[in-house]
Amino acid sequence: MAQAPASTTTASVRSESSLPPTDLVFLALQGRLRSQGIPSAAALIEAHHEGRVSSRMIVEAAVKANRLSAETLNDPTYLRLIDATFSTLKSNSR
C-alpha cells in the first residue's frame, strides 16, 4: 500500500536525517549532548544567542553521539531550522 508523500519541508529535512531539527534542540536542552561539550537548558539558549555555540556545533555533537548522519552538516535548511528554534526560544524567554 502506497503512503502519502510527506510535506516538502519535512521531506527535505528528513532526507538528511531521521531527527527533526526541533527535536535535536530539545535533546540538547535536556542535556543529552553534554558529553560532547554542549551546555544544557538556559545556558545553551544563552550560548547560542551569544554565538558561543552554533547550530553547526550542535549538529557535530549529534553526529558524534550517533544521533544524526554526517551529511546533515551539509544541509543549510536543517541548520537554519535549528537557528529558528533557538530564536523562538530566546524571544519567548524575555
Q: Please state the pTM of the whole predicted model.
A: 0.81
- What angle (nearest 5°) sits at the alpha carbon of residue 72, between those of residues 38 and 24? 40
Q: What is the DSSP string of 43-84?
A: HHHHHHHHTSS-HHHHHHHHHHTTSS-GGGGG-HHHHHHHHH
Q: What is the pLDDT of residues 68-78, one digit of tens each?
A: 999 999 999 99
Any idea where the domains of the chain sit in the sequence?
Answer: 18-92
pLDDT range class, residue 22, cuts 50, 70, 90: very high
**Backbone phi and psi for residue 7, each to the nearest 5 degrees, phi listed first:** -65, 155
